Amino acid sequence: MRLAACADVDPPLVGKANYGPFMDAKTEELRAAHDVLAEFYADRLADALDHMPAERAVLGLFCDLTLAADLGTSVGDVGCGTGRLEPYLAATGLSPRGIDLSPEMIRVARRDHPDFDFDVADLRELPFEDASLAGVVCWYSLMYLAPSDRSAAFSELSRVVKPGGYLVTAFKAGDSQVRRGGRSVNLGVEFDVYWLSPDEMERRMIDAGFATVFWGGRPAEGQEGSAQGYLLAQRS
C-alpha cells in the first residue's frame, strides 16, 4: 500500500479559490486527513461495492428513478473520494461528475478512473449551475458537516438538482454526536465525524425542498463501527 502526502498534490489542484469561504481549521484538518487517506481508500475500497448488496440496491434504485425521470443523465457525485462509484453509475446510463474537498482524492480518482470528470470543490459551494443535474449522490460525505452547516449544505444540493430529480445519501447512523474519526486506520490522521440521526437527515432534506422516496438502514458489518443509514428523496 502506498501512502500519499500533501506534498505530492499536483499544484494545479491546490488553491484556496476552489474552496470558497469554507476553509476554516476543521475543514483544513478534514482535507489534510483525506489527502493522507486517498491511497488507503483506493486500495481498500476499490471493489467494496461488489460485496455490499444493500448499497448496490439503494444506489440502483437512485439510478433507475433518475433515468426514469427523463431529466438527462448528468449527476453529481458529491464527496466522491477516489471515484469508486463512477463506473457503477455510468454502467446504468448516468453521466457522473465527481467533486471532493481533497486534492489528493481527486488526483487518485483521475488516475484510477480517467474516463470521468473530477474536480476539487466543497459541497457547501458546488461547481454546478442551478437546476443542472438529474441527481446528486452524497455517499458517506455529509457526515462531516457541523450542525451549523447542514441547512446551507442541503440548500446547495437542492439548488443544483432539477425539479423532479433525485438525491441519495449514505451515512453513519446514530445519535448525532460528534466523534473523532480516522484513528482506527493508524495513519496519524483524525477529524470530526457525526453519526447522523436519520430523522434529522430526513427533516433537513424536506426543509430543503425534497420529498422522501425511500429511507432505510442496516446494522454495522465487519469493521464498521456504526449502523449505516440511507435516504433517497425527490426534488419537489
User: Out of 102, 158, 226, 228, which residue is the one contacting ligand SAM (CB under 6 A)?
Assistant: 102
Q: For ligand SAM, which stretch binds (CB under 6 A), given 5-13, 67-75, 133-141, 210-218?
A: 133-141
- Determine contact, residues 98/86, Cβ cutoff 8 Å: yes
Q: For ligand SAM, which stretch binds (CB under 6 A), given 7-15, 65-73, 121-129, 160-168?
A: 121-129
Alpha helices in the chain (DSSP H): 25-45, 53-68, 86-91, 103-112, 147-160, 198-207
Q: Give burial (CB, 10 Å; 0-12/13-18/19+) of 149.
A: middle
For the bound state, the minimum distance from the C-beta of residue 93 to ligand SAM, rounded and expressed in Å, comes to 20
User: Out of 59, 100, 182, 229, which residue is the one contacting ligand SAM (CB under 6 A)?
Assistant: 100
- Assign 222 to helix, strand or coil: coil
Q: For ligand SAM, which stretch binds (CB under 6 A), given 63-71, 116-124, 128-136, 158-166?
A: 116-124
Residues 6+ away with beta carbon under 8 Å from 159:
126, 130, 131
Instruction: Report the DSSP pairing between strands 191-194 and 178-181.
Output: antiparallel
By beta carbon distance, the residue nearest ligand SAM is 81
The binding site for ligand SAM (CB under 6 A) comprises: 30, 34, 45, 79-81, 84, 100-102, 105, 122-124, 139-141, 144
